[in-house]
Structure 1
């Protein structure tokens, strides 16, 4: 039996590339959530006026990796203190948010936010919202980092985040 986690922490290419590396993760899909437009497209979301965040939806086996571990990684790989921005990516589509799928996930997310407050000198601005409709991103965004590691954004932003994750969370890595 698997569960679903939905997280927003900047560009979905970064999150996808990291969560694909974790043991117990069965599938990671990039997409959009939290907005007011049906069937949003990448260009619309990038304009910042659909209300959607770029998210990853993670299907995982909770007997192999705990939801709490996914949240620990989440707070380590993005800056949860910057409102509507991650580095040079600016706009509400890059906000930090946890979209919970159950009361148990909501409680775990509240706990993770409180724990993360100890690691960050500025206030945490991560939004906690009930999961809404997940709109899958266009196919060209699937497995983006693995297919385009030499793309400039991947080299400058995604790659360093993946390396940071691997350096700090080796115990969560899937076996090759």
Structure 2
């Protein structure tokens, strides 16, 4: 059986955090962090990641659920321009799955989800020294204080899809 490899763009919080979260999942082949823009606003870039994954190992719906549960998907805070809460899709199928997932997941949040489903336009990769930030620098204060709690939440809520080898240092 052939693997179905797909890519989705996800934005909502610091790309170092988002990168670490999605690198910690079974079925995720690669995560690139940087800035993404949408067809709806091609000149507006915000921090985000491009996640390439094997749909036979992890579904887009699960990735979206993880995305919503690991950033402030209901908050219109002051940093929303930098950290746009969005799912950047590449085709009508992804657009449909993302819309249905948001509708279905709303019941898990007391406030309205503000995450937008947008058409992907462009991606700009971050500087090399910032790639794989958490796994290259787990002892740094930012990683200990900001990223690690999100990974612990990931272990708690999504243990069935977590790459246990990757997160063994947290157990």
Tell me which interval the TM-score lies in, with the shorter structure as reference length.
Answer: 0.7 to 0.9
Deviation digits for residues 112-154 of structure 1 (CA, Å, limit 9, x no counterpart)? 1112221222221111110111111111221101111122221
Gaps of 5+ in 1: 38-50
In structure 2, the partner of 1:23 is: 26
Aligned positions of 1:95-110 closer than 5 A = 95-110=84-99
In structure 2, the partner of 1:162 is: 151
In structure 2, the partner of 1:3 is: 6
Q: Using structure 2 for the length normalisation, give the TM-score.
A: 0.87
SS in 2 for 1:52: strand
Deviation digits for residues 1-31 of structure 1 (CA, Å, limit 9, x no counterpart)? 4110110011011111111111111100001
Counterparts of 1:84 and 1:2 in 2: how far apart (Å)?
34
In structure 1, the partner of 2:72 is: 79
Greater strand share, structure number: 2
In structure 1, the partner of 2:141 is: 152
Counterparts of 1:4 and 1:94 in 2: how far apart (Å)?
20
1:131 is the counterpart of 2:120? yes
Q: Deviation of residue 84 (structure 1)?
A: 5.0
Q: Using structure 1 for the length normalisation, give the TM-score.
A: 0.84
Aligned partner (choices 12, 16, 19) of residue 15 of structure 2: 12
Aligned positions of 1:48-127 closer than 5 A = 51-84=44-77, 90-127=79-116
Q: Which runs of 4+ in 1 moved over 6 A?
A: none
CA contact (8 A) 1:84 1:94 kept: no
SS in 2 for 1:82: coil
CA contact (8 A) 2:42 2:121 kept: no
Counterparts of 1:68 and 1:9 in 2: how far apart (Å)?
16
Counterparts of 1:130 and 1:36 in 2: how far apart (Å)?
10
CA contact (8 A) 1:19 1:25 kept: yes
Gaps of 5+ in 2: 166-171
RMSD value over aligned CA atoms? Answer: 1.5
